[in-house]
Structure 1
Amino acid sequence: MNMKAKPIPGIPYQVKGAYHDTESRKYFSSSEVAAQNFEILKERFFSINRWKDYCGGWSADFKLFDSTGSFVDRMPKVGDFVRIDIPGPGDLQAKGFDWVEIVKIDHQTYENGLERYLIMCRPSKIPDSKSNHIAHFFSRKSSSSFVICKGADWIKAGVYGRNEIPNFSKTDFFGKIRNFIVFIGGSLRLTKIQWKSMTDGLIDY
């Protein structure tokens, strides 16, 4: 078992709190077949509203919203928000949901033929809310990075959590208890079951 977070270009360094590295990879008979399958994976990756359909019952439900708090069904962009309905109790102040903001979308190609897309999110308030309450079980300093890659004969989906610290700011007593319980679950790698279901589901078609 890897006891240190993987150093990955474009993803924050692990400094404090819990972390996870969750990956699924699929190999193919040729680079051409890998490239064809990567096109399918890209379409799935940028269809946030359909992630649960691809990833099965263990996955949270993700919905994309713009900066005004309106639901949108399009490619995500920086400044959008994602509403997450995780299995179990949600943030009471956010009507049972958790929210993250998309803070980075990145596309990189490398000389060895590797190609990568990244969507990085951070816990956030509810979009267009007057309250500064972070509607998430982790603090704003935490991050979740969703990544897809293509190599010579393989494709990969990954989710990387960094600096996962429980959110105790501007939340009530029951919210703090709930956030701490979810944090303990993450620290014990219980949430890795969900993320593994997601990475497996994205490349399984």
Structure 2
Amino acid sequence: MKPKQIKGVPEQKSGGFHDTETYMKFEKAVISVKYETLKKRFFSVNDWKSYCGEAFAAFKLYTPNGNPAEREPQKGDFVRINIPGPGETEAKGYDWVEIIDICYYEDAHSESITMTCRPSQNPTDTSSHIAHFYSSKATSTFMIQKYPTHLKAAVYGRNESPNYNANFIDILRNVAVAIGGMLGIAKIQWKQLTNGLLDFD
């Protein structure tokens, strides 16, 4: 299976990948209102866990200088991820990504928003070490899209390989988590998020 080529999603060059998508049909009369709600959810990074359930990771938005943020994400912000189970010891148990792009697209048939993240250092620490189980080549692109009759929420993972730039214990953990992610465990969790974002009941 080949990765989908999606506008705004980085090209797949090496390592693992996934395309995780959820579609939901709606009446034309309510789809614009539903999309506005979806946009609020999409940009409420700190609330993502509430759409996924307790077994999923928790997300916390941080400013470029490492302060917690209670606002919509911006390019250059960071997201702290607390994955269930052992985390990066050097990053106090957390994984970190930087938001490297936020893009808006619109054509005659649809409109969409993408937010692309890349593994990064911990912005609250001076170390330059990548605090994530994937290497800095990996990306995760979060996307929402509105069509005339349905909405889509998606996560696209690209160029996923373990982060070996760490101490020995963290390398073992990174390899184990990364392999699990590439074998489909991450896709299961991302599917929880995409389903939850579109669950309006």
Question: What's the TM-score once normalised by structure 2's chain length?
Answer: 0.97
1:68 to 65, 68, 92: 65
Paired with 1:59 and 1:34, the residues of 2 have a C-alpha distance of 28
Aligned position for 1:8: 6
1:175 aligns with 2:170: yes
Aligned-pair CA distance for 1:193: 1.1
- Kept in 2, the 8 Å contact 1:67–1:128? The answer is no
- Kept in 2, the 8 Å contact 1:65–1:83? The answer is yes
Aligned AA (1:22): T
Q: Give deviations 1:16-75, integer Å, cap 9, x for gaps.
A: 001111011110122x31111001000000000000012212321000000111101001
1:37 aligns with 2:37: no
1:146 aligns with 2:142: yes
Aligned position for 2:198: 203
1:118 aligns with 2:114: yes
Q: Which runs of 4+ in 1 moved over 2 A?
A: none
Aligned position for 1:79: 76
Q: Give deviations 1:66-96, integer Å, cap 9, x for gaps.
A: 0111101001101100000011111110000
Aligned AA (1:82): V
Paired with 1:200 and 1:15, the residues of 2 have a C-alpha distance of 28
Aligned AA (2:113): Y
Paired with 2:161 and 2:105, the residues of 1 have a C-alpha distance of 29
Aligned position for 1:18: 16
Q: What is the aligned residue count?
A: 200
Identity of aligned residues (%): 50
Greater mean deviation of Cα atoms: 183-192 or 148-157 = 183-192
Paired with 1:59 and 1:13, the residues of 2 have a C-alpha distance of 27
Q: CA RMSD in A?
A: 0.9
Structure 2, unaligned stretches of length 5 or more? Answer: none
Secondary structure of 1:94's counterpart equals: coil
- Kept in 1, the 8 Å contact 2:43–2:72? The answer is yes
Aligned-pair CA distance for 1:184: 1.0
Aligned AA (1:138): Y
Aligned position for 2:158: 162
Paired with 2:175 and 2:72, the residues of 1 have a C-alpha distance of 33
Secondary structure of 1:77's counterpart equals: coil
Aligned-pair CA distance for 1:128: 4.6
